[in-house]
């Protein structure tokens, strides 16, 4: 059994209300892409409400900010899903639906079996914003091995 898993949070602030026609393509594909992730090799967990809706969870004072909090077996399995599946098409088109937010992504190692909270993920994002990539909170630009 693995000692560590990788937690990831990404946030997005929509340019328009989620019901707006300009958000339709993103919203119409959100559940399908989330299911693709859930079925990807190395997927462990995703934060969502009891109905399976991740957009219903609000972690920030600005209730329009969407969060995606997941856990993966490894950095490699997350990278494969994020950048080598259909998911990447939506990453590339992010600017069509969302404001530029920086940082919008944070990664960190957790003990296998630990389920990160929204509060924990916000703290990691704030740490990344203040200190840049560290073993405590990092991005794909500069990764760190588990257990450092």
Tens-binned pLDDT, residue by residue, of the chain (148 aa): 579 999 999 999 999 999 999 999 999 999 999 999 999 999 999 999 888 888 888 899 999 999 999 999 999 999 999 999 999 999 999 999 999 999 999 999 999 999 999 999 999 999 999 999 999 999 999 999 998 7
Domain of residue 53: give its range.
Answer: 4-131
Distance CA 140, CA 46 (A): 19
Distance CA 18, CA 21 (A): 8
70 within a domain of the structure (yes/no): yes
Distance CA 96, CA 27 (A): 12
138 within a domain of the structure (yes/no): no
Q: Are 60 and 119 in contact (CB under 8 A)?
A: no
Distance CA 70, CA 115 (A): 9
pLDDT at 50: 85
pLDDT at 147: 82
141 within a domain of the structure (yes/no): no
pLDDT at 2: 75
59 within a domain of the structure (yes/no): yes
The count of structural domains within the chain is 1
pLDDT at 1: 55
- Residues 6 or more apart whose CB falls under 8 angstroms from that of 135 comprise 109, 144, 148
């Amino acid at each position: 059994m693995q000692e560590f898993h990788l937690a990831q949070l990404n946030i997005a602030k929509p340019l328009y209300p989620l019901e707006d026609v300009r958000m339709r393509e993103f919203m119409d594909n959100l559940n399908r892409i989330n299911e693709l992730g859930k079925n990807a090799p190395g997927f462990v967990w995703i934060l969502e409400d009891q109905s399976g809706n991740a957009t219903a969870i609000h972690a920030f004072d600005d209730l329009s900010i969407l969060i995606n909090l997941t856990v993966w077996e490894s950095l490699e399995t997350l990278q494969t899903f994020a950048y080598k599946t259909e998911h990447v098409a939506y990453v590339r088109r992010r600017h069509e639906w969302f404001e530029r937010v920086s940082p919008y992504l944070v990664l960190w190692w957790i003990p296998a079996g630990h389920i990160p909270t929204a509060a924990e993920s916000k703290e990691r994002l704030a740490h990344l914003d203040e200190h840049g990539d560290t073993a405590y909170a990092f991005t794909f630009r500069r990764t760190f091995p588990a257990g450092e």
